């Protein structure tokens, strides 16, 4: 038995908004792999819950009219990995969420829960930052969309207003068309572990594959929330594809990131692997985009 004060089950998004407005103290529960564990630990014990898990309209990946990719917030990690739209356009996201926890966790964990937690280590978050994803929030005043970077306020806190829930994650066509990416999770174990640091890179190359038209890089656990390394991106944008340019890009990352010492790893170690991961993930992204670069 869980120490749940009361459970309200939402049958639709509209119903969820109503329940959240009626019960302002209640915590949203999606897949529950964080909320229930925290409840067991006593951190959220005795709370009221609004369960949104049974709202099937919030599941699945689809195209919007303008070919924006829409990922329902309740889509599980394993379903994102298996989805043909994700495999075609944002394969790296499917690969990144395939590194979360273990198989059972990937069946229950949702991408909405992973981002609404506001934790920096979320395996989906760095890739979503790196692809300029937007977050769709539905509340009593209707629907609003905002860039994922603005959604994260500080460690563990996201911009969810009273009565609101996250209903989808969107990736506009201009953000994915022509891009290829790679994610590296650095962790101590190959399963059931949290990233020491995670790095997601994607690139868009010129038609002849000789020049980096655009590059985006984002980190998990390089600061209190997932973050982009904008200065590093600037150094590589518009440069010819070369190992030296990639190296400069990777080293510039240190001017962007703000890792700290924790029991998992020291700041110095995180800075070291951040540079190594940036170089490796960037080179692999270039290869995936059809470019040629030496190891």
Please report, as ranges, the residues that interact with another protein according to CB under 8 A: 1-7, 9, 29, 32-33, 36-37, 40-41, 51, 53-54, 78, 101-105, 107-108, 190-192
Q: How far is CA 72 from the centre of its chain?
A: 14
Least CB distance from residue 245 to another protein, whole Å? Answer: 34
**C-beta neighbour count of 162 within 10 angstroms:** 9
Q: 194 near 187, Cβ under 8 Å? A: yes
In the bound state with another protein, the residue whose beta carbon lies nearer, of 61 and 225, is 61
Question: With the CA atoms of 82, 96, 72 and 38 taken in that order, what torsion angle do they form, in degrees rounded to the nearest 10?
Answer: 120
Helices (H), 42-122: 77-82, 84-89, 91-97, 103-108, 111-116
In the bound state with another protein, the residue whose beta carbon lies nearer, of 51 and 285, is 51
In the bound state with another protein, the residue whose beta carbon lies nearer, of 1 and 295, is 1
| Among candidate residues 46, 60, 56, 7, the one with its CA nearest the CA of residue 29 | 7
Least CB distance from residue 98 to another protein, whole Å? Answer: 9
Helices (H), 90-237: 91-97, 103-108, 111-116, 123-130, 148-151, 173-176, 230-236
In the bound state with another protein, the residue whose beta carbon lies nearer, of 5 and 210, is 5
Q: 118 near 157, Cβ under 8 Å? A: yes
The DSSP H or E segment spanning 51 is: strand 47-51
Least CB distance from residue 108 to another protein, whole Å? Answer: 6
In the bound state with another protein, the residue whose beta carbon lies nearer, of 101 and 220, is 101
Residues making up the chain, counted from first to last? 295
Least CB distance from residue 244 to another protein, whole Å? Answer: 35
In the bound state with another protein, the residue whose beta carbon lies nearer, of 82 and 161, is 82
Least CB distance from residue 24 to another protein, whole Å? Answer: 19
Phi, psi of 198 (to 5 degrees): -125, 145
Maximum separation of any 2 CA atoms in the chain, in Å: 61
Sort 102 into a burial class: Cβ within 10 Å, 0-12 / 13-18 / 19+.
exposed
Least CB distance from residue 261 to another protein, whole Å? Answer: 25
In the bound state with another protein, the residue whose beta carbon lies nearer, of 106 and 216, is 106
Least CB distance from residue 8 to another protein, whole Å? Answer: 10
Least CB distance from residue 226 to another protein, whole Å? Answer: 23
Contacts of 44 (CB under 8 A, 6+ apart): 27, 35, 38
In the bound state with another protein, the residue whose beta carbon lies nearer, of 76 and 202, is 76
């Amino acid at each position: 038995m869980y120490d749940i004060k009361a459970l309200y089950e939402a049958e639709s998004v509209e119903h969820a908004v109503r329940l959240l407005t009626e019960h302002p103290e209640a915590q949203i529960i999606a897949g529950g792999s964080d909320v229930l564990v925290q409840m067991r630990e006593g951190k959220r014990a005795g709370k009221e819950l609004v369960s949104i898990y049974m709202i099937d309209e919030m599941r699945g990946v689809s195209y919007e009219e303008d070919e924006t990719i829409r990922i329902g917030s309740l889509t599980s990690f394993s379903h994102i990995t298996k989805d043909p739209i994700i495999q075609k356009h944002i394969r790296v996201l499917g690969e990144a969420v395939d590194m979360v926890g273990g198989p059972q966790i990937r069946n229950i964990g949702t991408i909405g829960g992973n981002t609404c937690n506001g934790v920096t280590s979320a395996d989906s978050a760095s890739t979503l930052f790196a692809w300029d994803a937007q977050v769709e929030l539905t509340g009593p005043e209707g629907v609003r969309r905002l860039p994922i970077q603005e959604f994260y306020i500080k460690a563990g806190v996201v911009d969810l207003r009273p009565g609101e829930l996250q209903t989808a994650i969107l990736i506009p066509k201009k953000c994915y068309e022509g891009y290829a990416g790679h994610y590296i999770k650095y962790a101590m174990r190959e399963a059931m572990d949290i990233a020491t640091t995670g790095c997601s890179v994607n690139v868009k190359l010129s038609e002849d594959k000789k020049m980096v038209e655009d590059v985006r890089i984002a980190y998990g656990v390089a600061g209190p929330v997932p973050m982009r390394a904008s200065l590093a991106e600037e150094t590589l944008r518009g440069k010819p594809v070369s190992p030296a340019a990639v190296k400069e890009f990777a080293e510039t990352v240190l001017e962007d990131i703000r890792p700290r010492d924790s029991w998992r790893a020291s700041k110095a170690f995180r800075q070291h692997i951040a540079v190594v991961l940036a170089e490796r993930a960037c080179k692999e992204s270039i290869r995936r985009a059809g470019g040629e670069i030496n190891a």
